[in-house]
């Protein structure tokens, strides 16, 4: 059995005051996953008013168990910071991994406080339009 060398993970971040988007390109695996965790941790620390963290997954290659554990850890850290995690442009392979492991709902659902904010915003919008 031969193993292919891991494709280095490259990250491209776009920051605003309340939103960070990080584009992922390459493998999220044992060799590279810590790079993403470190980048997300730095963004959470550097942006105290951060509300949304978007991870663009279109360029994501292989994701192994270490990569999955890093995504789960990122979710825990964003929840603790009251930041909404968005896994966007997921590849079919990533969706299959999240489904098989039962982590799809946990990683893609809005945190309880964000869902409450959106619900409150929708109620305010309805109240404004009913007046």
Q: Structural domains in the chain?
A: 10-125 (3.30.750.24)
Give the mean pLDDT of 111-130: 64
Contact indicator for 96, 62 with CB cutoff of 8 Å: no
What's residue 5's pLDDT?
Answer: 63
DSSP string for 69-130: HHHHHHHHHHHHTT-EEEEES--HHHHHHHHHTT-HHHHHSPPHHHHHHHHHHHHHHHHHHH
Query: How long a stretch of residues is the chain?
Result: 131
Instruction: Give how far Cα 89 sits from Cα of 1, 57, 126, Å.
Output: 32, 5, 30
What's residue 110's pLDDT?
Answer: 81
Query: Measured between alpha carbons, how far is 67 from 82 in angstroms, rounded to an integer?
Result: 22
- pLDDT (tens digit per residue) in 47-94: 999 999 999 999 999 999 999 999 999 999 999 999 999 999 999 999
**Could you identify the residue written with the tokens 């309805």?**
126
């Amino acid at each position: 059995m031969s193993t292919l060398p891991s494709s280095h993970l490259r990250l491209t971040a776009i920051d605003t005051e309340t939103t960070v988007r990080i584009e992922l390109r390459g493998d999220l695996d044992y060799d590279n996953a810590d790079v993403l965790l470190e980048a997300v941790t730095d963004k959470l620390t550097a942006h105290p008013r951060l509300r949304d963290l978007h991870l663009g997954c279109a360029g994501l290659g292989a994701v192994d168990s270490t990569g999955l554990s890093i995504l789960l850890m990122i979710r825990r850290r964003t929840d603790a910071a009251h930041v909404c995690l968005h896994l966007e442009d997921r590849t079919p392979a990533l969706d299959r991994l999240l489904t098989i492991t039962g982590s799809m709902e946990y990683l893609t659902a809005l945190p309880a406080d964000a869902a409450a904010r959106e619900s409150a915003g929708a109620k305010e919008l309805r109240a404004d339009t009913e007046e």
